[in-house]
A = this chain, B = another copy of it.
Amino acid sequence: MTISSRPSGRSADALRPVTISRHFTKHAEGSVLIEFGGTRVICTASVEEKVPSFLKGKGQGWLTAEYGMLPRSTHSRMDREAAKGKQSGRTQEIQRLIGRSLRAAFDLSLLGERTIHLDCDVIQADGGTRTASITGAMVAAYDAIQGLLDKGLIKQTPVRQFVAAISVGVYEGLPVLDLDYDEDSQCDTDMNVVMTEGGEFIEVQGTAEGVAFSRSTMNRLLDLAEDGIADLIALQKQALGLGA
């Protein structure tokens, strides 16, 4: 364990308490409330019995994601995107990331001509909403697919591998895991990492905020992320009642 002076008091390599509550709402085929400390996101997976037009007749499925924040999920109220009439660049960037990340978890050729819509809605934000969204959406999508198997609509599971995501960053010169809002808003580097249960990368998105970062810092950040994601995947499987 590393000594640190993080605002959260956590050690540099410590996740916040993570809870994953399945069946959070009743209509969706998969519905998860995921909490990374004070960050709380509702992730639902909805199954639709058709695919986008570019996939019609190809015998395979699709998975797509949307992301939103309740206007007062944040410290000060944000304008409602539906009222403004457009999604921000940040929102679109995040939902594209969630979609790409989750598509890596599944073999869509085994899903049949249907679409899984993932909706990640932040009800309380305290840093790391996109990584919590990916991690929670994995569980919601798993439940939705389990439902298709249970009903005999598909024979073979499209699940290839679990994926989860975590943020890492440099806070006051120290590489740390899972930034909360206080840390994120003052950090020098912010990196979001999506990995598989096999320890390989799906996405790495690192941004220098003010100060450029060195190759050795990057390596330390990836080490932290690797350990954090292994823990998150264990928590996903535990929530689903699967053996590690």
A1 within 8 A of B: no
Q: Mask for A176-203, Cβ within 8 A of B = 1, else 0?
A: 0000000000000001000110111111
A contacts, CB < 8 Å to B: 25-28, 31, 38, 40, 42, 44, 46, 48, 66, 68, 70-77, 80-83, 85-87, 89-93, 95-96, 100, 104, 117, 119, 121, 123-125, 161, 191, 195-196, 198-208, 210, 212-215, 218, 222, 226
* Residue pair B214, A201 in contact (C-beta under 8 Å): yes
* Residue pair B205, A201 in contact (C-beta under 8 Å): no
Using CB atoms, name the residue of chain B closest to A121: B70
* Residue pair A73, B25 in contact (C-beta under 8 Å): yes
The majority secondary structure among interface residues of chain A is mixed
Using CB atoms, name the residue of chain B closest to A215: B222
On whether A25 and B218 interact (CB within 8 A), knowing A42-B123, A89-B92, A196-B212, the answer reads no
> Chain B residues with Cβ under 8 A from A198's Cβ?
212
> Chain B residues with Cβ under 8 A from A226's Cβ?
215
Question: Can you identify 20 A-B contacts, CB atoms within 8 angstroms?
Answer: A25-B72, A26-B124, A27-B74, A28-B77, A46-B77, A66-B83, A71-B119, A81-B82, A82-B87, A82-B91, A90-B96, A92-B93, A93-B96, A104-B208, A104-B210, A104-B212, A199-B214, A202-B208, A205-B205, A218-B222
